A and B are shown apart, each in its own frame.
Chain A
Amino acid sequence: MLNMMKTLTACRGISGYEKGVSDKLLMMISPLTDRTWVDPMGSLLALKKGTAPEGERRKIMLCAHMDEIGFLVTFIDDNGFVRVTPIGGINFIAASYATVTFGNGTKGVLVPETGTAPADIKADKVYVDIGAKDKKEAERKVKVGDFCALEGSLTRLCGRRVAGRPMDDRIGCAVLVRIAQLLGETPCRDDVYFVFSVQEEVGLRGARTAAFGISPDIGLVYDVTGTGDSIGAKPMACSVGGGAAIKLKDSSVICDRALAEELAGVAKEKGMKYQFEILAAGGTDTASIQMSGAGVRVGALSIPTRYIHSGTEVLDLNDAEACAALTVAWLTREEKSGGNGTDAEAGAEAE
């Protein structure tokens, strides 16, 4: 998991420009699955066929997003300074005075205009200094429409905790690859679709079209979630190191409760560490999968993460492993009431 994260945090891919990440993930996932393809929006999809006979297999969609927040170049001035527009939820104070990397490897530093009060640091008050002496030199390195993002990093902290960026959501991508590895050892009956989605950070866009294309029976999303365990955090019963966080709700979605309970049941039975997650602010691909086509039963297993969208997001790799292990346990468990048991239970609850 650590090595995977080293690879995945080293490539840059902001929303709409995920090709670099997609290429890396394709190499990781294709030996583990039966078929891979890219949809029109750019999401990477991989299918691992189930062992049950044709017609008895459900379609399970597992989804994590490849894109990270960043910037698009909008203007280069006569002095060679580069103006940018934010792509996704940028905290400009957290991003100021940090190194940024462009798609072609060019480096720069994101800085506020001199004399800007901290509270006024916004998109139109910052620029990227790439060290060019004038516009001409700058344009040899960077042009309008190029993207950049805060430099990627991964630092080991105590135990199996790590700091760096973008944990959001390369950790989810790593969990998906881990699940594919584990399913190689213990196959499951159902068809499992691995979806590495695009454009999550700008409005949960890629997962929606991917889900429409797959039309899954169940969708599960792997993304970071906020926690209540940092100093000054709003009270939240979710902490780093507390195990897989089974999402009940975030600001974009209310998950299928029966599915969440089922996941918790499996965790309890297997003695796996888990916690429920109710995230007050923030949305995930779970919402767009739920509302795609004629509707999809959805859940999410989140990786508790501190300081999300900053240059140093902190999480525990044990939590990520727990998400993968719980998913595989759920996918491969012995059905007590046949393949459609869960649907029947959900129906009973609705009545």
Chain B
Amino acid sequence: MRMYSGQELVRELSQAFGPSGCEDGVRAFIRTQIGASCDGMTEDRAGNLIVRIAGRGVDYDPAEERRLMVSTHMDEVGFMVREITDEGYLKFSLIGQTDPRVLCGRHVVVGEENRTVKGVIATKAIHMQTAEKRTKATPVNKMYIDIGAKSAGDAEKLVQVGDYATFDSDLVPFGKDGRYIKGKALGGRLACAALIEVIRYLHASSCELAYDVYFAFTCNREIGISGASVAAFTVNPTLAILTGATAVNDLPGVSPEARVAALGEGCVLSLADRQTLYDAGLTRFAARCAEEGGIRYQIKQGDSDTSDGAPLQRSMAGVRTVSLSVPVRYTHSAACVASYEDYQALLNLCKAVICGLKP
């Protein structure tokens, strides 16, 4: 299998098929991309992939059992086929939270890894809608996917009830010098790409590590069943770094104090979200690492989002947790937008924090 890096690695991960509960393909891809660049790789019973890089150097003491867990999620939002109509259309449910208004007219792929068909989420032409209908969002239970089948029998040859679907959306660079990227699943997958690069770096370099580092690629974040919490019980870490995306609101008409964070301004440090207050000391440490390493970072404003931070931080007797993320516009849609520079800031800050942590 080809090894990818840089923007190509981001592209492959963004385009991979993996809604919550169907992460097998993503996990297999990550395994091959890490290959032998680690000191051990396991899967736990919840489907999380856990990759180990052993501690080393003067500050490392195996007897102390100091473990650092670096976590991101592999899954994305998507759909599940719940009914095939007599005419061969697919009725579906949402997997995770998506605004129904971003669905109509979108390309999707339906099926499972290695057995997918293309489809579109159907929408009624504007000419055929009443004036009242035009002003209202169509509810998900009134939508369907058209896979070009002529009948139920025709459709059943290609898909079955229970099949997953995701947006069919290529990763496209755009903006000046391609500074931004557009694509689906630009949440956890951006962080997956960053962590793969970090693992390769740590394996190749000889930097000292005071902690055994466990990278957890987790399942089921988008449906609220935190794989990260399960992974924490598996790893039993002393400290944790949670990575992922922060949904930003740096849009026209939004007042500066309500923008959360901004694209292109660097890695986001989160102080709090709706269910979590991150460890203040670790967060200060991460900010110091960024300043010393010349890595751009920003402090998230507001705390209205949720994350795996809550279950992770409160697993077992508690885990000191810090949150590092990439700012992303239009999350949970087919066209999420992120900045490649922010992605690199996350990657570099992860390296700096992991290598900089002392006992």
A and B are partners in one complex rather than unrelated chains = yes
- Bound-state Cα–Cα, A87 to B272, Å: 9
- Report yes or no: A40 in contact with B256, Cβ–Cβ below 8 A: no
Is B277's CB under 8 angstroms from A145's CB?
no
Q: A40-B238, A124-B258 are in contact. Are A203 and B275 (CB under 8 A)?
A: yes
Q: A77-B257, A199-B277 are in contact. Are A85 and B317 (CB under 8 A)?
A: no
Say yes or no for A74: interface residue by CB 8 A criterion: yes
Instruction: Mark B79-107 against chain A: 1 for CB-CB distance below 8 A, else 0.
Output: 00000000000000000000000000000
Give Cα A206–Cα B279 distance, bound, in whole angstroms.
12
A205 to B272, CA, bound (A): 14
Q: Is the CB of A209 within 8 A of B314?
A: yes
The answer to whether B258 and A145 touch across the interface, beta carbons within 8 angstroms, is: no
A40-B277 CB under 8 A given contacts A77-B256, A77-B257, A144-B299:
no
Min Cβ gap B228→A in Å is: 15
Alpha-carbon distance between A72 and B319 when the two chains are bound, in angstroms: 22
A213 in complex: contacting residue of B271, B280, B301, B317, CB < 8 Å: B317
Question: Are A85 and B302 in contact, CB atoms less than 8 angstroms apart?
Answer: yes
List A contacts of B299 (CB < 8 A).
144-145
Q: Given A40-B320, A75-B301, A145-B299, do A83 and B277 touch, yes or no (CB 8 Å)?
A: no
Q: Separation in Å of the B89 CB from the closest CB of chain A?
A: 43
Nearest chain B residue, comparing its CB with the CB of A206: B318
Closest chain-B Cβ to A137's Cβ sits at a distance in Å of 18
Quick one: closest B residue to A209, CB to CB?
B318
As a 0/1 sequence over residues 206 to 244 of chain B, the CB contacts with chain A under 8 angstroms (1 = contact) are: 000000000000000000000000000000001000000
Is A17 among interface residues, defined by CB-CB distance under 8 A? Answer: yes
Number of A-B contacts (CB under 8 A): 66
Q: How far is B313's CA from A16's CA once the two chains are assembled, in angstroms?
A: 12
A109 within 8 A of B: no
Number of residues in A with C-beta < 8 Å to the partner? Answer: 29
Note all chain B residues with C-beta closer than 8 A to A43.
318
Which residues of B lie under 8 Å from residue A40 when comparing CB positions?
238, 317-320
CB contacts (< 8 Å) of A144 on chain B: these are 299, 301
Contact A41 B313 (CB under 8 A): yes
* B201 CB, nearest partner CB in chain A, Å: 27
Task: Give the residue name and chain of the A residue nearest to B257 (CB).
Answer: A75
The distance from the CB of B285 to the nearest CB of chain A, in whole angstroms, is 13
Is the CB of B44 closer than 8 A to any CB of chain A? Answer: no
Known: A74-B257, A209-B314. A87 touches B319 (CB 8 A): no
Interface string of A71-106 (1 = CB under 8 A from B): 010110100000101010000000000000000000
A202 to B257, CA, bound (A): 23
B contact residues, total (Cβ < 8 Å):
23
Do the beta carbons of B277 and A16 come within 8 Å of each other? yes
Instruction: Indicate if B65 sits at the interface (CB-CB under 8 A).
Output: no
Interface centre among A43, A72, A210 (most CB of B within 10 A): A72
Inter-chain contact B314/A74, CB cutoff 8 Å: no
CA distance A203 to B314 in the complex (A): 11
- Would you call B137 an interface residue if the criterion is a C-beta within 8 Å of the partner chain's C-beta atoms? no
Q: Does A212 contact B (CB under 8 A)?
A: yes
Residues of A within 8 A of B313 (CB): 41, 205
B residues less than 8 Å from A19 (CB atoms): 280
Q: Among the listed A15, A87, A209, which residue makes an inter-chain contact with B317, where contact means beta carbons less than 8 Å apart?
A: A209
Known: A74-B301, A83-B301. 15 other contacts (CB 8 A): A16-B271, A40-B319, A41-B318, A72-B272, A72-B303, A74-B257, A74-B303, A144-B299, A144-B301, A145-B283, A205-B277, A205-B314, A209-B318, A210-B318, A212-B317
Instruction: Assess whether B320 is in contact with A75, with CB atoms less than 8 Å apart.
Output: no
Query: Closest residue of chain A to B239, judged by CB?
Result: A40
**A313 shortest CB reach to chain B, Å:** 23
**Interface pair B271/A212, CB less than 8 Å apart:** no
4 closest A-B pairs (Cβ-Cβ)? A16-B277, A209-B318, A213-B317, A75-B257
Q: Per-residue CB proximity of B24-50 to A under 8 Å, as 1/0?
A: 000000000000000000000000000
| Residue A39, interface by CB 8 Å | yes
Query: Is A247's CB within 8 Å of the partner chain B?
Result: no
- Greatest chain B CB density within 10 A among A16, A40, A85, A87 is at A40
How many angstroms between the C-alpha atoms of A210 and B314 in the bound complex? 10
